[in-house]
């Protein structure tokens, strides 16, 4: 039995205090985003510009990819192309094998999460250390990240203390942010110094220069890449922008949208390997060109992974990242997941009220809620909602279109509403009262007054 979003959300909400804390923590991030965005007078213009740059890039993606790869190679970067996750993992492992790498440090990369790189490398005897603090915490816990920007946001400080006590030997009951961060810093420093290779994600790759930009708040991408003799950067093919001058648009939007910071603490530009270092870029498709070919969903590839749609989503905040079946949760995950496997993620497009806050907050103006609605149609057509629900809806539609039947059904419904209320068996009346049913409907009253 697959755990569906409603059942996972039910479990999450079983601890109302914790659920309220989760909601408030993420709402605070949304509020910070609002305050920071409000300081930029041309905010809406920036969003529009970013959306257009992305649309343009996606419309000529193959050309920009070729330009990027040619420039990167001219800079001395080795460029690899991976059609899917398996090929990506094989390429990365091949590079590491060639260098006899035993220890790899990674900075945050959702793509490697998508490709399940860590277990693949670990199966080949390579030690993988995630160096982003949140990632390291969930790695210790053997959990997937619950949020793409703040991977351990579902954990409280004291719980992090327990994890560190178990894995890093910090004193039991340590609940001090400063002390916990210091413990992580000392622990990670050793891994940075001892790593044989570093792997980073890519936030933006620039076609005209062949360079790329990695944004972090902890400087962990830099510490990894600048120390290790081998730097591998893995990116989805949609991370491209045409020109260096476009970076300003995206860097101004990214951190403000993500965490309400004016900028990430580190925006690191990589152009070529330093003398004696090897630098690789792995360009990964893994379903992206399929999504590019779907006109209704193409714009989902404009995503810059800021997670503003997570933070604003009232459903995400009240159900948590682990209630979604895909490793990218929240609204954007819910329109990306069905492209990967419509059946396995059939309930994700339904885990939304279609309130549209995701679309309104998105820095690259992806019409997320409209795409959720479109995926719902496809899920239903593929039989992904079972038998009962479609039948009930068809019956409702049948009744609503037949005036006499509708009037009769209406009268019956009003008559039996108090009984349903008393029984409280359905999901509505279990928690909510029904409205007091009136003796006559609006149209019955109109008819009485003989109005047209």
Partner 1 sequence: MRLGLFIPCYVDQFYPQAGLATLRLLEKLGHQVACPSAPACCGQPLANSGHAAEGEVFLDDFARAYAGFDRVIAPSASCLLHLKEGLEARGHELAHRLHELCEFLHDVEQVQSLDAVFPHRVGLHAGCHGLRGLGLGRPSECMVADFSKPARLLQMVQGLELVPLDRPDECCGFGGSFAVFESDVSVAMGRDRVDDHVRHGAEFITGTDLSCLMHLGGLLARSNPHVKVRHIAEILAGEP
Per CB under 8 A, the segment of 49-57, 215-223, 269-277, 350-358 that binds partner 1 is 350-358
88-117 residues in contact with partner 1 (CB under 8 A) are none
Question: Within 364-383, which residues bind partner 1 (CB under 8 A)?
Answer: 373, 376-381
Nearest approach, Cβ of residue 359 and partner 1 (Å) = 7
Least CB distance to partner 1 at residue 450 (A): 12
352 binds partner 1 (CB under 8 A): yes
The reply to whether 314 sits near partner 1 by the rule CB under 8 A is yes
Is residue 203 a contact partner of residue 148, using CB atoms and an 8 Å limit?
A: no
Please list, residue by residue across 244-266, b when 16 or more beta carbons sit within 10 angstroms of its beta carbon and e when fewer do: eebbebbbbbbbbbbbbeeebeb
Q: Which of residues 274-313 bind partner 1 (CB under 8 A)?
A: 312
- Residue among 351, 364, 366, 368 that touches partner 1 (CB under 8 A): 351
Judged by CB under 8 A, the chain residues 28 through 57 that form the site for partner 1 are 34, 37-38, 40, 43-44
**Least spacing, CB of residue 422 vs partner 1, in Å:** 14
Looking at 390, 408, 416, 418, which residue binds partner 1 (CB under 8 A)? 390
Nearer to partner 1, 4 or 78 (CB): 4
Query: Is residue 185 part of the contact set for partner 1 (CB under 8 A)?
Result: no
Q: Does 446 bind partner 1 (CB under 8 A)?
A: yes
Contact 101, 196 (CB under 8 A): yes
- Count the site residues for partner 1 by CB under 8 A: 73
User: Is there binding between residue 401 and partner 1 (CB under 8 A)?
Assistant: yes
Minimum CB distance to partner 1, residue 328 (Å)? 19
Tell me if 397 contacts partner 1 by CB under 8 A: yes
Binding to partner 1 (CB under 8 A) within 407-426 occurs at 410, 413-414, 426
Select from 341, 396, 415, 416 the one that contacts partner 1 (CB under 8 A): 396
Stretch 424-443: interaction string toward partner 1, x if CB under 8 A: --xxx-xxxxxx-xx-xxxx
């Amino acid at each position: 039995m697959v755990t569906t979003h409603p059942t996972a959300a039910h479990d999450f909400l079983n601890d109302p205090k914790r659920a309220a804390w989760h909601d408030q923590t993420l709402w605070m991030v949304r509020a910070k985003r609002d305050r920071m965005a409000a300081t930029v007078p041309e905010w809406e213009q920036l969003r529009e510009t970013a959306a257009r740059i992305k649309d343009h890039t996606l419309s000529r993606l193959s050309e920009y990819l070729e330009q990027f790869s040619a420039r990167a190679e001219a800079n001395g970067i080795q460029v690899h192309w991976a059609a899917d996750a398996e090929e990506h993992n094989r390429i990365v492992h091949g590079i590491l094998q060639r260098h006899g790498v035993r220890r790899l440090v990674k900075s945050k990369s959702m793509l490697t999460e998508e490709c399940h790189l860590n277990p693949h490398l670990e199966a080949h005897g390579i030690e993988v250390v995630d160096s982003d603090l949140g990632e390291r915490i969930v790695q210790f816990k053997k959990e997937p990240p619950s949020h793409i920007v703040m991977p351990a946001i579902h954990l409280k400080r004291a719980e992090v203390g327990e994890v560190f006590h178990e894995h890093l030997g910090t004193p039991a009951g340590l609940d001090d942010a400063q002390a916990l961060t210091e413990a992580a810093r000392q622990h990670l420093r050793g891994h940075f110094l001892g790593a044989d290779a570093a792997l980073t994600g890519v936030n933006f790759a620039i076609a005209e220069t062949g360079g790329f930009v990695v944004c972090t708040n902890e400087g962990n991408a830099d510490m990894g890449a600048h120390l290790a003799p081998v730097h591998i950067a893995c990116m989805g093919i949609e991370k491209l922008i045409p020109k260096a001058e476009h970076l300003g648009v995206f860097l101004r939007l990214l951190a403000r949208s993500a965490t309400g910071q004016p900028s990430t603490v580190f925006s690191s530009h990589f152009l070529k390997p330093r003398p004696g270092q090897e630098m690789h870029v792995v360009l990964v498709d893994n379903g992206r060109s399929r999504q590019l070919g779907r006109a209704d969903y193409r714009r989902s590839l404009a995503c810059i992974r800021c997670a503003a749609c997570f933070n604003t989503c009232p459903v995400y905040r009240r159900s948590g990242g682990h209630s979604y079946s895909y490793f990218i949760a929240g609204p954007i995950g819910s329109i990306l997941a069905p492209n990967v496997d419509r059946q396995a993620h059939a309930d994700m497009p339904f885990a939304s009220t279609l309130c549209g806050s995701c679309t309104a907050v998105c820095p690259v103006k992806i019409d997320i809620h409209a795409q959720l609605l479109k995926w719902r149609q496809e899920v239903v057509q593929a039989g992904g909602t079972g038998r009962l629900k479609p039948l009930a809806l068809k019956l409702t539609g049948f009744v609503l279109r037949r005036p006499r039947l509708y009037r009769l059904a209406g009268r019956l419904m009003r008559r039996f509403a108090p009984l349903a209320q008393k029984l409280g068996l359905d999901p509505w009346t279990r928690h909510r009262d029904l409205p007091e049913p009136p003796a006559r409907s609006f149209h019955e009253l109109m008819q009485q007054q003989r109005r047209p």
